[in-house]
Amino acid sequence: MSPRTAIDAEGAWFEPDRIAELRRHLPIPYIDVVPVRTDVDGTVAQVGLLLRASGTGRIVRTIVSGRVLIHETLREAIARHIDKDLGSMALPRIPASPVPFTVAEYFPTPGQSLFTDPRQHAISLAYLVPVDGEASPQEDALELNWYDVAELLESGVMDELEGGHDIVVRRALAHAGVI
Amino acid sequence: MSPRTAIDAEGAWFEPDRIAELRRHLPIPYIDVVPVRTDVDGTVAQVGLLLRASGTGRIVRTIVSGRVLIHETLREAIARHIDKDLGSMALPRIPASPVPFTVAEYFPTPGQSLFTDPRQHAISLAYLVPVDGEASPQEDALELNWYDVAELLESGVMDELEGGHDIVVRRALAHAGVI
Amino acid sequence: MSPRTAIDAEGAWFEPDRIAELRRHLPIPYIDVVPVRTDVDGTVAQVGLLLRASGTGRIVRTIVSGRVLIHETLREAIARHIDKDLGSMALPRIPASPVPFTVAEYFPTPGQSLFTDPRQHAISLAYLVPVDGEASPQEDALELNWYDVAELLESGVMDELEGGHDIVVRRALAHAGVI
Amino acid sequence: MSPRTAIDAEGAWFEPDRIAELRRHLPIPYIDVVPVRTDVDGTVAQVGLLLRASGTGRIVRTIVSGRVLIHETLREAIARHIDKDLGSMALPRIPASPVPFTVAEYFPTPGQSLFTDPRQHAISLAYLVPVDGEASPQEDALELNWYDVAELLESGVMDELEGGHDIVVRRALAHAGVI
């Protein structure tokens, strides 16, 4: 999640200097997506997490997450980031409502909230998105794994999420009524 | 929506006298479902309304609505009522979260709330449910019609909904961000 | 939470036989309230839990919880149960919206959901209610204790909640953005 | 709501050129607040609307609305804008949850969404905030008026709200269960 990765991820729309400048002046609007697979009755059964190289060379787990671009709707941003991370064969059911299940406020300084992002102050609207098709890791992602809810919570996988993404996942599962 | 219709709709699990007795003593847990069709980006595009004969012989428009039975989960109740009203070829996407977009409190006496049901005090959890398959009216329903959101609001169709179902539909559309 | 306690708590409106009969036939509409104290900026700071004798003579921790009566609005039920459990000097800020933060489905048989109530199938709408005044334990409650959020989660207090009330509290805190 | 007004309202933290530059590159995070007075049982009884001179010299009605600043939490932004618009004697009950009742996406070009703001693409998290104290109009506001819900909807006052603020108010009232 280095500045460089972020810029690449957005399609190099900004020069690195430009986005660094913007980040000094404004909170950056974000969306966080927790991809899930559901049972036929709608119950969340599995959570999808990506494994990717961070900007600093470490391997980290992440949810789908990224900026909302200028003139882009939230729905477009959700669809674009899912497409970018899970591929065009993923069939996301983007929520009918724009109301997020939580809002995660990421600050550069740890401790100002439960969420940190060393690059920026981001305000992220978080959505639970059932995915029906064949999702596969894209670009800089190494793996996409689906975890049964119980397995996810009992394993150490949640600890591999950074910056508070584990809390976003927990809130998604609490909202969905499975924890 | 006579007692008789309601009992039939529930599969005659109760004798008419028995349910009348229960209704004198307890609020009845209900679910209301607003069936919708969505665009690929999740935006609500159309609302599905049923036309059916009421217990008193009048023709009324309704949403999908019915009791939660003893030992039945909310998800089971939602699926059962959609199946009963829209048929087994309807492919509902039952919400991942049990949180309703509103709670409608129906009272027998008009004026105690915005919702009335002459038969009973019902507490209804209302859900917006996108339907993908081929829905068709079942049993005592005469028609199922899908209305574009703008068309629905401009026509007189909303006035044909009774007991406050028009308010349930409006709240669903407000929650979905389309009005 | 024996039948007897429940009946007393409702003001003996029903004979024990009658409510047992009703419980065999219908899910019982309930409200669960997680009483909290908030900072001036609205952040949840403390959670209030009651200590009371259960119907079987054990001492248990509980949140505020109880039935919705026939012809009673949800707001009236919330106010009545808070008044009954926390006293008339408690100044609850009953939520402006009827939308609960979660719906807890209690079944008599453990395992059908995360929530159990040996007495009945209850469908409980759960609300987070900030309390401003001087709350004090009433009637059969032995104590009312306010716990800082971090303290609550680190202590063993959460384990003293039964039937899934700990999950209701966790979902309330997740919804409030503090865990 | 000219650029100049906006800058003044934010305490002149930016030069006009700078904020115009930022607005060309990023969606601007906003909060919208619908101030309400509630009955003792929490029911929304009245809505507070401001009358102010717009940047172009016209008189317009508005809700409380403004930017989230860099390094500012949503709670701080809500409190700051209420304080700025309703005065320090207003006692807002800032919601316990960060989840907005809706998200309004304002675009400069009419028609891209239900919300327009000629100055910018703003993503606004909307909150319903009960106000207890003595609110009074501040700075460039001419009046603060409280309207009973029924009166508000029947009068022409809703038509004096611009850019979709009337829709924000309607969604607030729908969420609160009063329309």
pLDDT, one tens digit per residue, over B128-151 is 999 999 999 997 789 999 999 999
Q: What pLDDT does B103 receive?
A: 98
Q: Which residues pair with A59 in a beta bridge?
A: A53
pLDDT for the residue numbered D13:
53
Q: B99 — contact with chain C (CB < 8 Å)? A: yes
* pLDDT tier for residue C12 given thresholds of 50, 70 and 90: very low
Can you tell me whether residue C79 is helix, strand or coil?
A: helix
D124 interfacial to chain B (CB closer than 8 Å): no
- The rounded distance, in Å, linking the Cα atoms of B130 and B35 is 6
Return phi, psi of residue B68, to 5°: -95, 125
Structure tokens that stand for C121 in this block: 């199938």
Residues with Cβ within 8 Å of residue B97, at least 6 apart in sequence? A101, A128, A175, A176, A177
**Cα–Cα distance for residue pair A30/A122, rounded to 1 Å:** 6
Q: Do A43 and B75 touch (CB under 8 A)?
A: yes
Report the residue of D173, D175, D178 to disrupt the B interface, i.e. the one with the largest count of B CBs within 10 Å: D175
Residue C146 has pLDDT above 60, yes or no: yes
Q: What is the residue extent of each domain of chain C?
A: 3-175
What is the token pair recorded at D130? 């009960």
Q: Taking the alpha carbons of C31, C121, A172, A92 in that order, is the dihedral positive or negative?
A: negative
**What is d(CA D88, CA D135) in angstroms, rounded to the nearest whole number?**
8
Residues on chain B touching A176 (C-beta within 8 angstroms): 96-98
Task: Look at B96 and A41 and tell me if their CB atoms are within 8 Å.
Answer: no
Residue C107 has pLDDT above 50, yes or no: yes
Report the alpha-carbon distance of residue A161 to residue D37 in Å, rounded. 42
Residue % of chain A over a pLDDT of 90: 80
Please tell me if residue D162 touches chain A, with a CB cutoff of 8 Å. Answer: no
Give the mean model confidence (pLDDT) for residues D143-161: 96
Tokens representing B123? 């507490």
Give the list of residues 6+ apart from residue C69 with CB closer than 8 angstroms, or none: B27, C10, C13, C77
**Is residue D3 within a helix (H) or strand (E), and if so which, with residue range?**
helix D3-9
- Cβ within 8 Å, pair A123-D74: yes
H or E stretch covering B104: strand B102-107
Indicate which of D18, D24, D26 best probes the interface with A, i.e. most A CBs within 10 Å of its own CB: D26
Residues of chain D neighbouring C38 (CB-CB closer than 8 A): 96
Across C112-116, D74-78, D140-144, least confident range? D140-144
Q: Which band of pLDDT confidence, cut at 50, 70 and 90, is reported for residue B8?
A: very low
Instruction: Outline where C108-161 has alpha helix (H).
Output: 149-154
CA distances from C13 to C16, C121, D152 (A): 9, 19, 41
Residues in chain D, total:
179
Q: How far is C10 from chain D (nearest CA, A)?
A: 20
Residue D79, chain C, CB below 8 Å: the answer is yes
State the smallest CA–CA distance between residue D125 and chain A in angstroms. Answer: 9
| Distance from the Cα of residue A145 to its chain's centroid | 14
D55 against A62, higher pLDDT: A62
Residue with tokens 């349910």: B19
Is A91 an 8 Å CB contact of chain B? no
pLDDT single digits (tens) B43-73: 999 999 999 987 778 899 999 999 999 999 9
Q: Which tens digit of pLDDT belongs to each residue from B71-119?
A: 999 999 999 999 999 999 999 999 999 999 999 999 999 999 999 999 9
Q: Do D174 and B177 touch (CB under 8 A)?
A: no
Residues of A in Cβ contact (< 8 Å) with C103 = 177
Q: Which residues of B touch D102 (CB under 8 A)?
A: 174-175, 177
H/E stretch holding D104:
strand D102-107
Of A99, A113, A121, the CB nearest to D70: A121
> How is D57-85 classified by DSSP, letter by letter?
S-EEEE-EEEEPPTT--HHHHHHHHHHHH
pTM of the entire structure?
0.94
What's the rounded Cα separation, in Å, for the pair D81 and D34?
12
**DSSP reduced 3-state for C114:** coil
D54 within 8 A of D1, measured Cβ to Cβ: yes
Interchain CB contact of C68 with B (< 8 Å): yes
Question: Can you spell out the DSSP letters for C82-106?
Answer: HHHHH-TT--B---SS---SEEEEE
Distance from CA of A33 to the nearest CA of C (A): 17
Question: C3-175 belongs to which CATH class?
Answer: alpha beta
Structure-model confidence comparison of residues B104 and B8, the more confident one: B104
Return the pLDDT at C97.
98
Looking at residue B160, the DSSP 8-state letter turns out to be G
Select from D58, D174, D64, D82 the least CA-distant residue to D132. D82
Q: Residue A93's closest CA among C130, C146, B41?
A: B41
Read off the pLDDT of residues C24-58 as tens digits, 9 standing for 90 and up. 999 999 999 999 999 999 999 999 999 998 877 88
Q: How far apart are CA D93 and CA A31, in angstroms?
A: 27
Output the pLDDT for position A14: 58
Distance from CA of C171 to the nearest CA of A (A): 5
CB contacts, 8 Å: D99 with chain C = 175, 177
C173: contact with D, CB 8 A cutoff: no
Q: Are the beta carbons of D65 and D86 closer than 8 angstroms?
A: no
Q: Please choose, from the candidates C164, C171, C84, C96, the residue with its C-alpha nearest in 3D space to the C-alpha of residue C130.
A: C96
Q: Looking at beta carbons, which residues of chain D come within 8 Å of B171?
A: 174-175, 177
Which of C25, C71, C105 comes nearest B107 by C-beta? C71
Tell me how far apart the alpha carbons of residues C161 and C64 are, in angstroms, rounded to a whole number. Answer: 12
The two structure tokens encoding residue A160: 């591999």
- Of the listed ranges A8-12, D88-92, D105-109, the least confidently predicted one is A8-12
pLDDT: which is higher, B16 or D88: D88
- Chain B residues with CB under 8 Å of A77 CB are none
